[in-house]
Structure 1
C-alpha cells in the first residue's frame, strides 16, 4: 500500500498541484473541518459510491489517524483504483481546513 504523509500532501497543495483527496471520516468528524477540496465519502459508503471515482486518477485517502483510510486504500486498490493512504490522518494535518 502506498503512503504519503500529511506534510507531503500539504506541500503538494501549497505548490498548486491538482490532487484528489477523499475524506472517509464520519459526518460528525468532517464537521470539525476537512482539507480544502477534499471529497467527503464516509467509509461505509465507499463500496456504493465507487462509480463516482475515476480509475485514471490518483486518490489520496484521509481519515482521523490513518487506520480507516488504510483499509479504504487497500479496498480501492483491490478494485483497480490508484489510491494512496495519508498516514497519520487529520491528527497529523497542520494545513488549512474548511
Structure 2
C-alpha cells in the first residue's frame, strides 16, 4: 500500500490558495508546546481509531496528517487507508521540515 505524501512547499501553496484541506496535528499534547501549523486541528494519534466516523463524513475533502518528522503520521495514514479511508496524505518531514523551510508556526491556542 502506497501512502500519499505532500511536501511542505506544496502544502503551503495549496493552503495559501484557499484549498479546503483538513490539517491534523497528531502529536502528543506535550509536543504542541513548540507550536502548530496554521489552520491545524489537534487529534492525538492514539485517538484516531475513536474518530473514524469523522474521517468517513467528508470522503472528498483531503486530510493532511503531520507529526514531528513525518514517521508517525505516515503510519497513521497507512492505518486509515487499511480502514478504507483514502483521502489522507502524509506531510513529508513533518513540522521539522515545515519549520526548516521558514513557514509559519503558531503558538498552541
Same fold, TM-score > 0.5, yes or no: yes
In the alignment, which residue of structure 1 is the partner of 2:6? 4
Larger Rg: 2
Q: For this pair of structures, how many residues does the alignment match?
A: 98
In the alignment, which residue of structure 2 is the partner of 1:89? 94
Is residue 55–residue 80 contact of structure 1 (8 Å, CA) maintained in 2?
no
Q: TM-score, normalised by structure 1?
A: 0.91
Identify unmatched segments of 5+ residues in structure 1: none
Alignment partner of 2:76 out of 72, 77, 84: 72
- SS where residue 22 of structure 1 aligns? strand
Q: TM-score, normalised by structure 2?
A: 0.82
1:13-37 superposed Cα distances (whole Å, 9 cap, x missing partner)? 1222221111110111122211111
Identify unmatched segments of 5+ residues in structure 2: none
Q: Pairwise CA RMSD of aligned residues? A: 1.3
Alignment partner of 2:35 out of 33, 36, 50: 33
